[in-house]
Structure 1
Amino acid sequence: MTITQINQPNYTAYQPYMLLDFEFSFQNDVLKDDLSITILEVLRRIDLSKFIDFHHLDSRSYDPVMMLTVILMAFAEDGYASLRKLEKLCRYDVRYRSITNGFIPSYKSFERFINNTLKESIETIAKEIYLYVQDEKALEEQILYIDGTKFEANANKMTFCWRGWSKRYLPRHWQKCMELLRQVNRYFKKHEIDIHYSILKYPNIEYMIKIDEALENWLKEKEHIRKGRGKHEIAKLCDELKKSAVKMWQYAIQEDILGERNSFSKTDPDATFMHMKYDYYNHTNVFKPGYNVQIGVNNGYIAYQYISSDANDMRTLQPFTEGYKELYGQYPKMEVTDAGYGSYENYSYCKSKGIKGILKYSGYEKKKEKVTDKNRYQLRHMERMEDGTPVCPAGHVFEKERIGVNLQGQYPKMTVYYRNKNCCGCAQRNKCTTSKNGRSARIVPALEKMHTEIDEYLKSEEGKMLMRKRSAQAEGAFADIKQDFEYVRLHRRGESGVKVELILVCIGYNLRKYHNRKKVKNMN
Structure 2
Amino acid sequence: MSNQMITPENYNTQMTLPLDGKEEKTPAKRNLAPTFKPYDNRQVQMIYDIESLIPEHHVARVVDEMVEAIPDEQLFSHYKGGGRSSYHPKMMLKIILYAYSQKVYSCRGIEKLVKENIPAMWLSAMQQPDFRTINEFRGGRMKILMDELFEAMILKLIEENYITMENYFLDGTKIEANANKYSFVWKKSTLKFEAKVREKIQETLQYIQELTQLEAGTAQKEAKEDPEITEQNLEAIAQKLEEKVEILTEEIEQESDTKVRKEKRTERKKWKKPLKRIRENFLPRLAKYKEQNEIFGDRNSYSKTDKDATFMRMKEDHMKNGQLKPGYNVQIGTENQFILFYTIHQRPTDTRCFIPHMEKLASTSLPMPQTVIADAGYGSEENYVYAVGDEKEPRFEFLIPYGSYVKEQTRTYKKDIKNAKNWTYCEEDDCFICPNGRRVTFKKYQNKKNPSGYEQSFKIYECEDCTDCPLKAKCTKAKGNRQVHWNPIFEEMKAKAKTALECEEKAAIYARRKVEAESVFGHIKGNRSFRRFSLRGLDKVHVEFGIVALAHNFLKVAGIRQLLSDKNRKNIKASGEKRIVFLHLLHFRDLSDSPFFYLKQKQEKSVFFVWSRLLYLSRG
TM-score, normalization by structure 1: 0.89
- Residue in 2 aligned with 1:248? 286
Farther-moved stretch of structure 1 (319-328 vs 110-119): 110-119
User: Are residue 414 (structure 1) and residue 480 (structure 2) matched?
Assistant: no
- Residue in 1 aligned with 2:312? 274
- Residue in 1 aligned with 2:407? 366
Q: Which has the larger radius of gyration?
A: 2
- Residue in 2 aligned with 1:345? 382
Deviation of 1:287 (Å): 1.7
Report the aligned-residue RMSD: 2.8
Do 1:415 and 1:445's aligned partners in 2 also have CA atoms closer than 8 Å? yes
- Residue in 1 aligned with 2:612? none
The one of 439, 446, 449 aligned to 1:404? 446
Alignment of structure 1 residues 110-149 onto 2, 5 Å: 110-134=134-158, 142-149=166-173
Alignment of structure 1 residues 144-159 onto 2, 5 Å: 144-159=168-183
The one of 61, 77, 83 aligned to 1:53? 77
Farther-moved stretch of structure 1 (431-440 vs 506-515): 431-440
The one of 208, 214, 217 aligned to 2:240? 214
The superposition leaves residues 13-69 of structure 1 with CA deviations (integer Å, 9 ceiling, x where unpaired) of xx9x93332326233221112211121122222224313437634533212111111
The alpha-carbon distance between structure 1 residues 314 and 22, as it changes in their structure 2 partners (threshold 3 A), is same
Do 1:159 and 1:265's aligned partners in 2 also have CA atoms closer than 8 Å? yes
Local SS of the residue matching 2:509: helix
Do 1:274 and 1:290's aligned partners in 2 also have CA atoms closer than 8 Å? yes
Deviation of 1:206 (Å): 1.4
The superposition leaves residues 208-266 of structure 1 with CA deviations (integer Å, 9 ceiling, x where unpaired) of 12212222233223317999978711111211223123222211211111111111112
Give 1:31's aligned amino acid. P
The alpha-carbon distance between structure 1 residues 380 and 425, as it changes in their structure 2 partners (threshold 3 A), is closer
The superposition leaves residues 263-284 of structure 1 with CA deviations (integer Å, 9 ceiling, x where unpaired) of 111221111111222313x222
- Residue in 2 aligned with 1:104? 128
User: Are residue 473 (structure 1) and residue 516 (structure 2) matched?
Assistant: yes
Do 1:138 and 1:298's aligned partners in 2 also have CA atoms closer than 8 Å? no
Q: CA–CA distance in 2 between the matches of 1:464 and 1:196?
A: 72
The alpha-carbon distance between structure 1 residues 118 and 336, as it changes in their structure 2 partners (threshold 3 A), is same
User: Are residue 289 (structure 1) and residue 289 (structure 2) matched?
Assistant: no
Give 1:383's aligned amino acid. W
Q: CA–CA distance in 2 between the matches of 1:180 and 1:32?
A: 78
Q: CA–CA distance in 1 between the matches of 2:474 and 2:78?
A: 74
User: Are residue 71 (structure 1) and residue 111 (structure 2) matched?
Assistant: no
Q: CA–CA distance in 2 between the matches of 1:351 and 1:138?
A: 28
Local SS of the residue matching 1:103: coil
Segments of structure 2 that go 5 or more residues without pairing to the other structure are 1-39, 254-261, 568-620
The one of 19, 22, 30 aligned to 2:46? 22
The superposition leaves residues 390-428 of structure 1 with CA deviations (integer Å, 9 ceiling, x where unpaired) of 444444442212112458888764311112244321222
Alignment of structure 1 residues 108-507 onto 2, 5 Å: 108-134=132-158, 142-189=166-213, 196-198=218-220, 199-200=223-224, 201-223=227-249, 232-242=269-279, 243-280=281-318, 282-328=319-365, 330-352=367-389, 353-371=394-412, 376-379=416-419, 382-387=422-427, 389-406=431-448, 413-507=456-550
Deviation of 1:317 (Å): 0.9
User: Are residue 517 (structure 1) and residue 543 (structure 2) matched?
Assistant: no
Deviation of 1:316 (Å): 0.9
Do 1:344 and 1:447's aligned partners in 2 also have CA atoms closer than 8 Å? yes
The alpha-carbon distance between structure 1 residues 491 and 354, as it changes in their structure 2 partners (threshold 3 A), is same
Q: CA–CA distance in 1 between the matches of 2:157 and 2:505?
A: 26
Deviation of 1:194 (Å): 9.0
- Residue in 1 aligned with 2:591? none
Q: CA–CA distance in 2 between the matches of 1:271 and 1:423?
A: 51
Do 2:299 and 2:347's aligned partners in 1 also have CA atoms closer than 8 Å? yes
Q: CA–CA distance in 2 between the matches of 1:99 and 1:141?
A: 30
Identity over aligned residues, as a percent? Answer: 24
Q: CA–CA distance in 1 between the matches of 2:127 and 2:251?
A: 66
Segments of structure 1 that go 5 or more residues without pairing to the other structure are 1-14
Q: CA–CA distance in 2 between the matches of 1:49 and 1:193?
A: 68
Give 1:366's aligned amino acid. K
The alpha-carbon distance between structure 1 residues 99 and 139, as it changes in their structure 2 partners (threshold 3 A), is closer
Q: CA–CA distance in 1 between the matches of 2:449 and 2:122?
A: 62
The alpha-carbon distance between structure 1 residues 504 and 415, as it changes in their structure 2 partners (threshold 3 A), is same
The alpha-carbon distance between structure 1 residues 115 and 30, as it changes in their structure 2 partners (threshold 3 A), is same
Give 2:157's aligned amino acid. V
Deviation of 1:357 (Å): 2.2
Do 2:68 and 2:90's aligned partners in 1 also have CA atoms closer than 8 Å? no
Do 1:151 and 1:293's aligned partners in 2 also have CA atoms closer than 8 Å? yes
Give 1:319's aligned amino acid. P
Q: CA–CA distance in 1 between the matches of 2:208 and 2:107?
A: 58
The alpha-carbon distance between structure 1 residues 406 and 291, as it changes in their structure 2 partners (threshold 3 A), is same
Farther-moved stretch of structure 1 (356-365 vs 305-314): 356-365
Q: CA–CA distance in 1 between the matches of 2:239 and 2:519?
A: 62
Higher RCO (C-alpha 8 Å, min separation 6): 1
Give 2:294's aligned amino acid. D
- Residue in 1 aligned with 2:18? none
Do 2:157 and 2:163's aligned partners in 1 also have CA atoms closer than 8 Å? no
The superposition leaves residues 359-383 of structure 1 with CA deviations (integer Å, 9 ceiling, x where unpaired) of 221111111122269x714426523
The alpha-carbon distance between structure 1 residues 176 and 432, as it changes in their structure 2 partners (threshold 3 A), is same
The alpha-carbon distance between structure 1 residues 222 and 339, as it changes in their structure 2 partners (threshold 3 A), is same
Farther-moved stretch of structure 1 (351-360 vs 314-323): 351-360
Q: CA–CA distance in 2 between the matches of 1:383 and 1:460?
A: 26
Give 2:101's aligned amino acid. A
Local SS of the residue matching 1:466: helix
The alpha-carbon distance between structure 1 residues 225 and 257, as it changes in their structure 2 partners (threshold 3 A), is farther
Give 1:472's aligned amino acid. V
Give 1:327's aligned amino acid. T
Local SS of the residue matching 1:223: helix
The alpha-carbon distance between structure 1 residues 436 and 62, as it changes in their structure 2 partners (threshold 3 A), is same
Q: CA–CA distance in 2 between the matches of 1:42 and 1:449?
A: 46
Q: CA–CA distance in 1 between the matches of 2:358 and 2:88?
A: 35
Q: How many residues align?
A: 504
TM-score, normalization by structure 2: 0.76
- Residue in 1 aligned with 2:618? none
Do 2:94 and 2:124's aligned partners in 1 also have CA atoms closer than 8 Å? no
Q: CA–CA distance in 2 between the matches of 1:196 and 1:425?
A: 66
Q: CA–CA distance in 2 between the matches of 1:137 and 1:410?
A: 41
Local SS of the residue matching 2:347: coil
Deviation of 1:97 (Å): 2.0
The superposition leaves residues 142-166 of structure 1 with CA deviations (integer Å, 9 ceiling, x where unpaired) of 3211001111111212222122123
The alpha-carbon distance between structure 1 residues 509 and 138, as it changes in their structure 2 partners (threshold 3 A), is closer
